[in-house]
């Protein structure tokens, strides 16, 4: 992807997330880094669910269940443009894309010298899953940690429709 437009709203989040991540690092001295990142993830989840409650009547989700989940997370919540997240596989039960969009979590993590894989796994997957659960509890979000920035140019992510809710 040649260039990514950085939305001002996303750029403004970098210092906020950096500050929150610093707090998580401080808290890790008491509970460990994984636990403090999970606690931060709970804060992120709370913000996303509050956003969902405020905006749920405005969504224009169309298509399969996985496509609706994709639209909710990337277009409705994050405000990403379709060209920033090209779909590389899509079936009725699975959608996989490459995220080239500007990521304030990545920038905050990079600023503090942490491993993005740990931060994303512990702090950001759960809030994405929580949003998906609001429209269909059978949707599952996952990230390919072998294809994630800065190790590749993009983050590869998937939403799948599972048969049973655990």
In a domain, 3, yes or no: no
Q: At 100, which CATH number?
A: 3.30.1380.20
What residues does 99 pair with on adjacent strands? 155
- The predicted-structure confidence for 26-81, as pLDDT tens digits, reads as follows 999 999 999 999 999 999 999 999 999 999 999 999 999 999 999 999 999 999 99
Residues 6+ apart with CB under 8 A from 94: 66, 158, 159, 160, 161
The whole-number average pLDDT for the span 110-122 is: 92
In a domain, 61, yes or no: yes
SS3 7: coil
- What is the per-residue DSSP string for 112-138? HT--HHHHIIIIIHHHHHHHHHHH-TT
Residue 53: give the domain boundaries: 8-161
pLDDT at 4 over 70: no
SS3 36: helix
Provide the number of structural domains found in the chain.
1
* Model pTM score: 0.90
- What is the per-residue DSSP string for 54-104? HHGGG----SSHHHHHHIIIIIIIS---GGGS-EEEE-SSEEEEEE-S--H
In a domain, 133, yes or no: yes
In a domain, 74, yes or no: yes
The whole-number average pLDDT for the span 72-92 is: 96
In a domain, 86, yes or no: yes
- In the block, residue with structure tokens 């079936």: 91
Question: Degrees (nearest 5) of the Cα angle 150, 87, 80?
Answer: 70
In a domain, 114, yes or no: yes
């Amino acid at each position: 992807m040649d260039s990514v437009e950085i939305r001002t709203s996303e750029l403004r989040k970098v210092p906020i997330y950096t500050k929150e991540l610093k707090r998580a690092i401080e808290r890790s001295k008491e509970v460990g880094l994984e636990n403090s990142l999970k606690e931060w993830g709970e804060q992120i989840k709370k913000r996303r669910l509050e956003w969902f409650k405020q905006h749920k009547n405005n969504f224009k989700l169309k298509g399969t269940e996985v496509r609706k989940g994709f639209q909710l997370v990337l277009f409705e919540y994050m405000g990403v443009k379709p060209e920033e997240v090209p779909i590389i596989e899509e079936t009725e039960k699975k959608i996989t894309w490459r995220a080239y969009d500007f990521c304030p979590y990545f920038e905050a993590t990079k600023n503090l010298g942490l491993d993005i894989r740990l931060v994303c796994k512990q702090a950001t997957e759960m809030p994405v899953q929580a949003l998906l659960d609001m429209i269909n509890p059978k949707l599952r979000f996952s990230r390919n940690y072998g294809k994630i920035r800065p190790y590749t140019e993009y983050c590869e992510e998937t939403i799948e429709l599972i048969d049973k809710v655990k």
